[in-house]
Amino acid sequence: MTLIKFALPSMTRIRSLLAGATLLCTLSFAQVNAPVPILCYHGFASDTSALQGKLTEKYGRFDKMLEFLIDHGYQTVFPEELEVEEVDIKKPVILTFDDGRKEQLRAAEMMNKRGMRGIFFIVPSRISSAGRSEFLTKEDLAILWELGHQIGVHGFSHRSMVESPEETEAVRTQSLPVIQEAIHMQRVFPSFAYPFGHYDTSVVQVVSEFYRYLHTVNPGYWDGRSKHIPRTLITNDRPEEFFQEYILKSSEYQPSLSSLLKDGSQANVVPFRVIKPVT
């Protein structure tokens, strides 16, 4: 076996993680039995002029992705549904939405028209009845639940839990109570998404006390059982075919790389051990 390293651009830590996720989008950190593709969306906009960074997707492209999934027989699921032996889902896909942005409500309604569901990761400190104009309110969360979607937790104030002990403590003591009060109709909150994708062993220990599924921005496919769930970030600088290919190749996926890091990396160089030839 050979040791290789992926060098990321010299940018901020957050942008490095995003670049690394895009670079490695077809790779996974875990042995996969039934590979499940997971898409991670953030902001949405109606046209190109309204785009705010690479993580803002156009509604038109999102609509095409939903049609693509339906045309190819994919069914949107929640992670816990795949751990029920009686459930037989041939082509599962998980759709996730980070940051609790207001424009995601329209995306949820678009999904609802097709009978599709997703997990919306909310930043607890941004929730209020009145609400900041760019974020979802309590009333919006109730609409999401009524449409059949699931609410997940995304930190507390959306700060790196690796770099901020205060954020980690707030996640431990405040996040779940705030979310439970805001959307009391949903009784169980199994999913958590790390802010910026940052985590280390101490962070994992804290959030594992409260959440079954820990969503990363480590790219790849989920094996249907691991605590950590990889996700492919949707970015507007990639063509639609790039993400469609990621979806379609899940059934053919064979692990090629093994991560040499114990923790979620914030480094600019990510080392892997090659198990099979990499194209």
Tell me how far apart the alpha carbons of residues 168 and 182 are, in angstroms, rounded to a whole number: 20
What three-state secondary structure class fits 225? coil
Q: What percent of the chain has pLDDT over 70?
A: 75
Mean pLDDT of 78-94: 86
Tell me how far apart the alpha carbons of residues 58 and 6 are, in angstroms, rounded to a whole number: 30
Which pLDDT does position 224 carry in this prediction? Answer: 87
Mean pLDDT computed over every residue of the chain? 83
Q: List, in order, residues 6 or more apart from 250 with CB less than 8 Å away.
A: 35, 36, 37, 221
pLDDT tens digits for range 178-187? 999 999 999 9
> pTM surpassing 0.75?
yes
Of 224, 221, 162, residue with least CA distance to 194: 162
| Burial (0-12, 13-18, 19+ Cβ within 10 Å), 48 | exposed
